[in-house]
Amino acid sequence: MSAIADTTLDRLLMGSPLRRPEVARRVIVGLAIALLLSLAVVILVVLSMDAQATRLFLTGLVLSALLSVVPVVILRFLDRRERESPWLFAIAILWGALIATGLALPLNTWIIAAVGRWLGEHPEVADYLGPDAALLVGAPLAAPLVEETTKALGVLLLFWLLRAEFDNVRDGFVYGALVGVGFNLLEAPLYVAQGFAEHGVAPWGLQFGARFALFGLGGHAMFTGIVGAFLGGARQTRRRWLRILAPLVGLALAILAHLLNNSLGLLVTILLRSAGEELPEPGPPPQVSFLDAWVQTSLQNLVIFLPFVLAMLVVLWRSGRQERRVIAEELAGEVGGAVSAEEYDGIRRDRLFRTRRIDRLDRRRSAALVNAQHELAFRKRAVRRERGDPDADPLIAGWRREIDALRA
């Protein structure tokens, strides 16, 4: 068991700046400060509402956490060939739910207030767009830039600090989507509570149905998943220019997708004005059921974000093929050692939705052994990509020891 524990620790920190005590101290202090500041911002926002709105927020937080289980389970399935630590799943969700949200809230508010002041100096624009002009203009400016940046910072930290756990495009998509799930987890109940505080009606169905569309993988999860996928692509390439460019392209695409989403209200207003129609009077949001909002928003996302959805589906399909190819190629040299001939035959038969298992072992030990073999394959490929010697890598030796221990 000590060999397994040592291997787990090595796997998390192999090549990480956290191995240097000075860097580790600075990172811990920085993260603690960011967490405390973000928590303070969220608490202040919640306490600024009345008692009933606060209770609605807490109730919604529980409901949001339950609904978030669905996208987490889907992402866990996508991650099945190389299981990341549950702690890393929790850290990614926590960053999205607290730090990214807490950092974004005051910045969003400041930008929208600045837009309101600008509109005060340009009354003709304000009159043209109506009473919600500040939000119609500010939302496409503030949220895409601020929220995608604060969420991307969390994925970038995982990429930098835990590089041994960030192997490829699929890893990046999973981490990014988890950060987005966390952001959505807190934002959904917050919008319900703010809607009640403003209009006296809690828009449960509208907010939860829309924000958990596409099984919780639309919106924030998709936006930040794009950033993570491009970061994973940067990890897989040896080209220095592509390592720098890929994350910037991913962030730009995430901002573009979010901008498109937040511009819908502005576009509808401009179309109504162009057609000579009167703008609707401001009032409480429509009361719709969760199912109606979920279906309508899911279909809307599939239409509006079709290029992004198709791109991510292609990326996931190709990353699955690439994972199976890496496992088969790297474990071919392990037959008779870390992999038996029978197990390698199962590796060659692995398919898109099939999860390999070793029938002679109980389910838990089979899953652990399969995961260790896959981790061994991905580590060998990572070492080769950096032009290292797999036989001299301590983590590879640790995975082989863990496989021996699991067989014992």
Q: What are phi and psi of 274, to 5 degrees?
A: -65, -30
Which has more pLDDT, 381 or 12?
A: 381
In contact, 308 and 226? CB cutoff 8 Å? yes
What confidence category does residue 388 fall into, taking pLDDT thresholds of 50, 70 and 90? confident
Q: Where are the domains of the chain?
A: 19-304, 323-407
pLDDT tens across 324-373, in order? Answer: 999 999 999 999 888 988 889 888 888 777 777 776 677 888 888 998 89
| Average pLDDT over every residue of 113-124 | 93
- Mention every residue, 6+ apart, whose C-beta is less than 8 A from residue 164: 11, 12, 13, 14, 15, 16, 379, 382, 395
pLDDT tens across 266-301, in order? Answer: 999 999 888 888 887 777 788 899 999 999 999 999
Instruction: Output the pLDDT for position 19.
Output: 82
Rounded-to-integer distance, Cα 22 and Cα 118, Å: 45
What confidence category does residue 113 fall into, taking pLDDT thresholds of 50, 70 and 90? very high
Instruction: Output the pLDDT for position 11.
Output: 65
Which has more pLDDT, 354 or 245?
A: 245
Nearest residue to 227 via CA among 320, 150, 282, 116 = 150
- Percentage of the chain surpassing pLDDT 70? 96
Instruction: Output the pLDDT for position 16.
Output: 77
Q: pTM of this prediction?
A: 0.92
Instruction: Output the pLDDT for position 144.
Output: 95
Q: Is the pLDDT of residue 111 over 70?
A: yes
**Strand, helix or coil at 339?**
strand
Instruction: Output the pLDDT for position 270.
Output: 92
| Average pLDDT over every residue of 194-212 | 92
| Average pLDDT over every residue of 201-209 | 93
| Average pLDDT over every residue of 295-320 | 91
pLDDT tens across 155-171, in order? Answer: 999 998 888 788 889 99
Nearest residue to 247 via CA among 317, 169, 177, 132 = 169
Q: Which residue stretches of 200-289 are H helix?
A: 204-211, 220-236, 240-262, 264-274
Instruction: Output the pLDDT for position 9.
Output: 56
